[in-house]
Structures are given as C-alpha cells and as structure tokens.
Structure 1
Amino acid sequence: MSSHPPHDKVSATPDAVALLDDIIADHGPVLFHQSGGCCDGSSPMCYPRSDFIVGDNDVLLGTIGDTPVYIGAAQFEVWKHTDLVIDVVPGRGGMFSLDNGREKRFLTRSTVCIPTV
C-alpha cells in the first residue's frame, strides 16, 4: 500500500470538475474506476455510485470533491509511484461510462513521484 494518504494520489483539472458536476446533476452521486492501461492517456470510467460494486481488490486513490476514485489493485501496483490527474479531452467516453455521448471524455494523466524514504 502507498505511504501517501489517498487524497494525495488523484486530482482533477477545472474542466474535469465541470464535466463531473454536469454528470452528477444528471445522474446523482458517481464514482470513478481506473482499470487497464498502464500509461498516460487511459480513460477512467465514471459510473453511478449505486450501480458499481467496489471489489475487495479495488484501492481508493482519493476523492474529487465528494466523488471517490478507485483503481484495481494490480493497476495500483503499476502506478503506486504516480499522482493521477483526471482531465477532459474531446471525444467519446467508454461505452458504459457516464461521460459517453457528451462529446467530451475523461482522461487520466500521470506524474511520476519519487518516493521518500
């Protein structure tokens, strides 16, 4: 497990927060789940909080406002020394992600952190 508090592992750009606010206004509370992909440019999936069952192997990276951001444990091991930034780019979201159909999609960017001893 990371030595950093979860809230230090994820943040969002103002554009991502604005899109997230629009989605919450339409769908109520949501969560993000990041799975698959091992580098910049992966898309986090945005789901209604009531429709997604967080698994025993999911790791809470932190929150964006009141929205939790989870990542699969295997993916967390790959990215545990990175800070993730949720951003927005033009395009279509994942088929089951709530950003789909909005002509914008969430995108995860990463910054490598040097662990302190």
Structure 2
Amino acid sequence: MQIMTQRLSVTEKASALIRGLAEKHGDLLFYQAGGCCEGTQPQCFEKGSFYPRMNDALIGRVEGYEFWVDRDLFEYWKHAHFTLDVVDGFGPGGFSLESPLGKTFKIHYRLFSDEELRDLAPVERMD
C-alpha cells in the first residue's frame, strides 16, 4: 500500500503547545477561516465550542485533533501543503486558546510538487 502525500504537518514547537492546551482544555479542534476579524490565522478551540460550516475541508489532524479549513480558503490553497507553527505574540483574532499565553498559531504554505499532487490524500467535507 502506497502512503499518500499529507496536506498538513506540525512543527515540534506547535505540537508541544497543543499537548499543553489539550491537557488544560481536553479535546481540541482547529479551524482556519478565510478572512474577516481573525484574518487567516488558524484558531484552536475546545471541541464542541465551534462547528465547521457546510463544505468546509478537513485537511488532516494535528496531535490527533481535526484541522478544518474554510471552504473558500481551501479552494485557493488546495495545491499547497500547510505546516502549523506557533510564534510569540498576540494574533489578530484573540479567540484562539493559545492567545492568553501570548502565542499565536501560524501557517507556513508551500506548493506541492507535481509528484505530490498526483498522490494527495483526499479531504473530508462537512455535510
């Protein structure tokens, strides 16, 4: 069985923060919106306190927790790999669980190679 190209990865620094947030808050959910007050900064919520919209894309999991992307933003970035990272500072949203810790989740994008595009893992869509 061939391993498919994943759409999402996470830095060790972000993984460590996610583990700490899960210890404090329980199950988590990540969502990256397409703009407005939170910009395109990924947001981390307690699972059940935020619900993806119809046709939003589940592009993978970080530390076992779902990472959803706004349907329109995904259409724009569907040819790119997402790497979840964390930086010091207060992001534009402030609703994300890492904000009180003076941290902000951030995405680094890179375009997939032609070979990776041929073998991309499928996304799940919210019904």
Greater CA radius of gyration, 1 or 2? 2
- Alpha-carbon distance in structure 1 between the residues aligned to 2:4 and 2:104: 24
* 1:33 counterpart letter in structure 2: Y
- Alpha-carbon distance in structure 2 between the residues aligned to 1:58 and 1:21: 25
Root-mean-square deviation (Å): 2.2
- With structure 2 as the length reference, what TM-score do the two structures score? 0.78
* 2:8 counterpart letter in structure 1: V
User: Which one of the candidate residues 15, 25, 41 is aligned to 1:43?
Assistant: 41
- Alpha-carbon distance in structure 1 between the residues aligned to 2:29 and 2:4: 15
Task: Give the aligned length.
Answer: 110
Q: Which secondary structure state, in structure 2, belongs to the residue aligned with residue 50 of structure 1?
A: coil
- Alpha-carbon distance in structure 1 between the residues aligned to 2:83 and 2:5: 12
1:116 partnered with 2:118: yes
- For 2:22, the equivalent position in structure 1 comes to 24
- Alpha-carbon distance in structure 1 between the residues aligned to 2:76 and 2:45: 23
- For 2:122, the equivalent position in structure 1 comes to none
Structure 1's unaligned 5+ residue stretches are none
Aligned ranges for residues 66-105 of structure 1 at < 5 Å?
66-93=64-91, 94-105=93-104
Counting aligned pairs with the same residue, the percent is 33
Farther-moved stretch of structure 1 (98-107 vs 12-21): 98-107
Q: Which secondary structure state, in structure 2, belongs to the residue aligned with residue 69 of structure 1?
A: strand
- With structure 1 as the length reference, what TM-score do the two structures score? 0.84
Structure 2's unaligned 5+ residue stretches are 120-127
Asked if the contact 1:10/1:83 (under 8 Å) is kept, the reply is: yes
